[in-house]
Amino acid sequence: MEAQAVLRPAGHRALVWRERPATAGAAVLVLHGGQEHGLRGPGPLNLPGLRMRPFARAVERVTAGHEVAVGVVRYRCRGWNGDRADAARDAAAALQELAEELGPVPTVLVGHSMGGRAALAAGGHPCVAGVVALAPWCPGGEPYAHLAGRRVLVLHGDGDRVTAPDDTVRFAALARSAGARTAGYLVAGSGHAMLRRAAAWHRATAALTAGLLGLRGLPHDVSAALALDGPDAEGLRLPL
């Protein structure tokens, strides 16, 4: 979804900063989950948003001192809402706002569940250096060609009963066949809410985000998977 085509609703700001250095040279946007349908806005007690706060804090710790801005995407609606793809449109709007404020700085999108789907949908934006998708919602027929040339890292719990790990692997393999650089972790003993082995999720997400921004090296197994071509699923079920 091209950010230039986004029409932002009057009065809605899709980007909310957590950390914004005066001379930011890179950025991270965090996207929380939601639901399949729902036109009402997220309420004051937004559990999907609360779930992503430890991830944002972990990213802030690993990027501290590197002039990296960290923001969250603010949704207009709780749901994806079919062809409206509201969360994806909000992600694209947030990227547009980011580029207007910071310039075309390299940006990593970190999204969970519906937020992972939105991050993958917005991953073709010129600012996006990579995507870290956590237990993403990857239904059949989802577009992927726009991710050509992007690095896409996926993590999924093997006990997830909300979004299917096999769907994530299938999507990542298709994106790889279209020219994306993909790698994936299967998080043993964890489910959709990422509560079991939460610390492992947080550490891995922060480290992978820093690696995509060039602040540290990526793990060897991830780098090897990113070098693969074609529709093979090798390197998409690495153990975590």
The pLDDT of residue 1 is: 39
CB atoms within 10 A of CB 209: 27
List the structure tokens of 28: 């991270």
pLDDT of residue 239: 98
3-state secondary structure 87-133: HHHHHHHHHHHHHHHHCCCCEEEEEECHHHHHHHHCCCCCCEEEEEE
Supply the pLDDT for residue 43: 81
Does the pTM surpass 0.85? The reply is yes
Total residue length of the chain: 240
Q: Which one-letter amino acid corresponds to residue 217? A: G
Helix axes 198-212, 47-63, angle to 10 degrees: 50
Question: Is the Cβ–Cβ distance between 79 and 49 less than 8 Å?
Answer: no
User: Please, are residues 208 and 63 in contact by the beta-carbon 8 Å criterion?
Assistant: no
The residue assigned the tokens 């998409």 is: 236
Q: CA 154, CA 204: separation in Å to the nearest integer?
A: 11
Buried b / exposed e across 164-176, counting CB within 10 Å, b at 16+?
ebebbbbbbbbbb
The pLDDT score that the predictor gives to residue 12 is 86
Give the pLDDT confidence score for residue 3 in this predicted structure: 37
Whether residue 185 contacts residue 211, with contact meaning beta carbons closer than 8 Å, is answered with no
At a CB cut-off of 8 Å and minimum separation 6, what does 112 contact?
A: 31, 32, 33, 48, 51, 52, 55, 134, 135, 136, 194
CA distance 135 to 115: 9
Per-residue model confidence as pLDDT tens for the chain (240 residues): 333 344 455 578 999 999 999 999 999 999 999 999 999 998 878 999 999 999 999 999 999 999 999 999 999 999 999 999 999 999 999 999 999 999 999 999 999 999 999 999 999 999 999 999 999 999 999 999 999 999 999 999 999 999 999 999 999 999 999 999 999 999 999 999 999 999 999 999 999 999 999 999 999 999 999 999 988 899 999 999
